[in-house]
Amino acid sequence: MVDRERGEDFIDLHILSSFALSLINAPDSLKFFLFFTLRLVTVFVPLCLSLQIRTLCYSSQLVGGALSRKAETNASSQQLGKSLLLFSAQLSHCRTVLRLFDDLSMLAYSHSYGLGAEEEDAGVRWISVLTNVADQLYYPCEHIAWAADAELIRVKSDKWWLFCTVLWGTSLLLGVLRSLRVLMLLKKKLRKYEREGEGRSRSQLVKQMRGEILSILSSVADLSNAVHWMPPGFLWAGRFPNWLVGLMGTTSSLIALIQMNSGDSNQSGST
């Protein structure tokens, strides 16, 4: 599903990173990579915890998958790559557990948005409503799948993980359609402002258009991974190597970093 980062999760991961690295029985090069990545995320952009973990998770998978490809020629690269992939898998599980507490925040968001009465365009409004429905349904499906894997309930988790992937992919696809619709509306406004010579309004529209383009790129990157995790035989399902999954996830995470940093800059500039 589309990550909805929670503002109350801001923390400095310096202590957490040092503690985690002290528990990892891994080569020094792995520890340096993990520490450097954590500090890069926390120093330059003060992000909420879920996005920090997401970025580290996919970047570890990217580097680990790339190093694992050198397994035939370099034993140390094989060990380092394996350690990074195991670390990435643990972070992925951590993200699943953290989302156990996101139902109410998502429900509050969906309730506040309602049927999108404040939206000027009907297309944007109904696409957003459907996106919220897909996101809301994602959580209970993932909770059931997680509980089944943890043997807390006696059901098979496979079909529930499939439901999660379908809902996530649906949300991403709807997000792409929404951004395309918004881009079309913004282009119309841009042409109007150009005729009227409103330079300031034009620059604001250009920034909004760039933001929508970044959102499309982020959603497409995540959507490619969603297809990869579908059952075999569906498009390119199961064909991505680890490094490519990590690359797509890292790309969408970095775009989220850019968008969040840009949003913070705009807020500070407007006060």
Beta-carbon contacts of 169 under 8 Å, excluding residues fewer than 6 positions away, are: 223, 226, 227, 230
The reported pLDDT for the residue numbered 197 is 67
User: Helix 122-149 crosses helix 75-98 at what angle (to 10 degrees)?
Assistant: 110
Q: How far apart are CA 5 and CA 214, in angstroms?
A: 17
| pTM given for the model | 0.80
Stronger pLDDT, 126 or 50, i.e. the higher one = 126
Q: CA-to-CA distance for 204 and 132, rounded, in angstroms?
A: 27
Output the six-digit token pair for 56: 């580290």
Q: Radius of gyration of the chain from Cα atoms?
A: 20
Rounded distance, CA 163 to CA 271, Å? Answer: 43
Give the Cα separation of 118 and 114 in Å (integer). Answer: 10
Supply the pLDDT for residue 35: 57
What is the distance between the alpha carbons of residues 83 and 96, in angstroms, rounded to a whole number? 20
Q: Are 85 and 106 in contact (CB under 8 A)?
A: no
Distance between CA atoms of residues 20 and 34, nearest Å? 9
Give the whole-angstrom CA distance, residue 187 versus residue 218.
Answer: 21
**C-alpha atoms less than 13 angstroms from C-alpha of 158 in its C-beta half-sphere:** 2
pLDDT digits (tens, 9 = 90+) for 118-176: 888 899 999 999 999 999 999 999 999 999 999 999 999 999 999 999 999 999 999 99
CB 180, CB 7: distance < 8 Å: no
Distance between CA atoms of residues 55 and 75, nearest Å: 27
User: Where do runs of H (alpha helix) occur along 69-157?
Assistant: 75-98, 103-113, 122-149
At 243, the amino acid letter reads: W
pLDDT of residue 213 exceeding 90? yes
Q: Which residues contact 221 (CB under 8 A, 6 or more apart)?
A: 248, 249, 251, 252, 255
Least confident of 82-86, 137-141, 224-228: 82-86
